[in-house]
Chain A
Amino acid sequence: MASPKATGDRIAARLVCLLSLTGQGMWSNRFQLSLTLMTMAVGSFALSLTFFLGEGARIRLWQDMEHLMGDWVIASPGVRQDSHLLETRLRPDFTPEDFTFVKDHLKDVRLVAPMFQATEPVTFRSINRVMAVDGVTVELSREPLFLPIRGRGFSDAGHQGLVWECLLTKSAAEALAVTIEDEPTIFIDGRPFQVKGVTQDPPGADDFFKARITVPYESANVLWLPSGTIGDILVAWTNLEKMDEVVSGLRSSLEVCRGPDTFFLSSSEFKIQKSRSIVANFMAYGQVEALFCIGIAFIGVMNVMLTNTARRSREFAIRISMGARHSEILAAVLSESFLLGISGALIGVALSVLLAPYVGRLLQSKINEVNQLLPYYGLKGFLYPILVCGLAGLIAGVIPAAKVRRLDVLASLRNDT
């Protein structure tokens, strides 16, 4: 009986010979194989590039998002700033009980905090919160009192909206004789403000100011709350990847304590979903295209392997007659097609690594939401193409290998071509 060392040595030698046989097969058909290799490389390139750029875009969007809003979301009472709903603006907001419930039911969060609003309701002559109507229609030399500041959670577009849209109190509308249906524009400090609606006079405001108040559109919700109520609930978490869980938990707990459709998760969630959707679409399209290319390469590999095995049938028959096992020939065919897939994948990945920054630059102009599309060389971008192409190559070799398995040795030996 052979010693384990001798057995191991024989196995290693067999493997070397298998690789040699595979190499001979590939070398003997190198030109055709090179072309097939290129098709596989294109598929691998596309797949790898999709992951590199997709991941890069995803990370970039997260960074933008984080920069824009931080890792938090605001749950607001379910009142949209719609002129038809302004009459209901005084509805109750989050109660302390709601807040406690939400806090108790949210996991993986760093902070659940109430945002108390209107701690100084408009009950006196506060120039920080009101705008004198009598200065509206003329150019004022002073800054408008309600020019909103740029803050967390407000996008550029939102900021623009806040600046250029406003509400008037009922008394102010009457004082100005404004017809809301016409969506009139008033001028404050030379800036046009489109009047989006009329809201009730603030509770507690005196008669002098009631008629003088112009409210930035988005701020109405904040200003009209009773003193000390919880306007919003601020939820923050530590890990961006947990966002789905946190938002989902927040939504379900709010649905329990306030009922469905009675709250509004801040527009940042929509923004995130939109961004995710863009990246997901990009990834999906990229992967479909890549898999399509790999599918073509798969057919190419199978075709070239079928041709190759048919061409080498005499050689295989000679080898079998000289003592080769069918299984050895079969393994050589399979390893040839597998190596073809892997080699194509490696070439594709290498090209992708080299070209991804340039392709990213070309693509970033096509994706509005992404300012800069830099590739992220994650493990997926390397592993997936190699796995997919290797598997495609291996499967493409199965039918040619099956043909070799059924090789008629004598018939092939008689074939002198």
Chain B
Amino acid sequence: MSGGSNDTQPFISLRGVHKSWRAGGTRIDVLRHIDLDIRAGTSTVIVGPSGSGKSTLVHVLALLTPIDSGEYLFNGSSVYAVNRWWDVGIRQSIGIVFQDGKLIQNLTALQNVCVPVSHRGIWPRQQKKLAKRALAQVGLLDRLDSYPNQLSGGELIRCAIARALVTEPVLILADEPTGTLDSETGSTISDLLFGVVKEQRTLVVVSHNPLLAERADRVVSIRDGILDEV
């Protein structure tokens, strides 16, 4: 899939996106008619207090949950055609970095990084080659055979970044990648995200970290499900 080099057309476009959860009998509106355009090759940091809907927005962008109403255009195409919100083709062109890495505990770092490519019809040998390259990009070549419980917090996130990079996605979504890290490690992760990761990719980061916000092309704020440009 193209990275969306058309300058006039946003790479990602949300139009009137509404999303709510049901907790018991109560409906909670998490995203309220959000309009958001993200251009290809840019970096966007989404900031906001806890419970404001940041992570839900990332999950919507990652196609991990359907929206109630509105439209999601990915590279100009609507991804919410009837019953197709889980479209694997689009999801496979998105890389996700979760807050705590979310590595699979019984797999080594190398095997974890292989996971995204293992579902794309690539032979295991090629998978390992790609995974090693991605791990080299984040400086984890020496931890190939380490299990997640043998990795530090920073290494976990770096491994998760490598996993997001391994398929060479056009869009990287990161949900609080430095949320659980000390400032020094957070700085390393920030360098990675805005260095290796950012290259020729569109980056969307949800974070409280001002360091990340400073380095982003654009910062948007979300509060009570409503988006504001900062």
Contacts and interface: CB of A to CB of B under 8 A. Distances in A.
Note whether A and B form a binding pair. yes
Nearest to B56: A410
A409 B100 CA distance: 16
A210 B44 CA distance: 126
Contact size range, A: 20 to 34
Contacts of A20: 118, 124
A24 B93 CA distance: 25
A103 interface: no
A28 B118 contact: no
A272 interface: no
B98 interface: yes
Residue among A9, A13, A14, A409 having the largest count of chain B Cβ atoms under 10 Å: A13
Given A16-B124, A409-B64, A324 B102 contact: no
Given A323-B88, A323-B92, A410-B64, A16 B119 contact: no
A115 to B, nearest CB: 77
Nearest to B104: A315
B208 to A, nearest CB: 19
Secondary structure at the A interface, as helix, strand, loop or mixed, is helix
Interface string A1-34: 0000000011101101100110010001000000
A13 B64 contact: no
B176 to A, nearest CB: 13
A409 to B, nearest CB: 5
A14 B121 contact: yes
B153 interface: no
Interface string B85-120: 010100110001010101110110000000110111
A403 interface: no
A410 B96 CA distance: 13
B98 A10 contact: no
B163 interface: yes
Contacts of A409: 64-65
B167 interface: yes
Contacts of B98: 321, 413
Q: Which of B115, B119, B120, B122 has the most CB of A within 10 A?
A: B119
B62 interface: yes
A322 B163 contact: yes
A319 interface: yes
A416 interface: yes
Contact of A321 (B96, B103, B123): B96
Contacts of B96: 321-322
A328 interface: yes
Contacts of B91: 321, 323
Contacts of B88: 323-325
B133 interface: no
A416 B104 contact: no
B223 interface: no
B106 A17 contact: no
List 3 A-B pairs, minimum CB-CB distance, nearest first.
A10-B121, A323-B92, A324-B119
Interface of B: 59, 62, 64-65, 86, 88, 91-92, 96, 98, 100, 102-104, 106-107, 115-116, 118-124, 163, 167
10 contacts: A17-B124, A20-B118, A315-B104, A318-B115, A319-B119, A321-B64, A321-B102, A323-B91, A323-B167, A325-B119
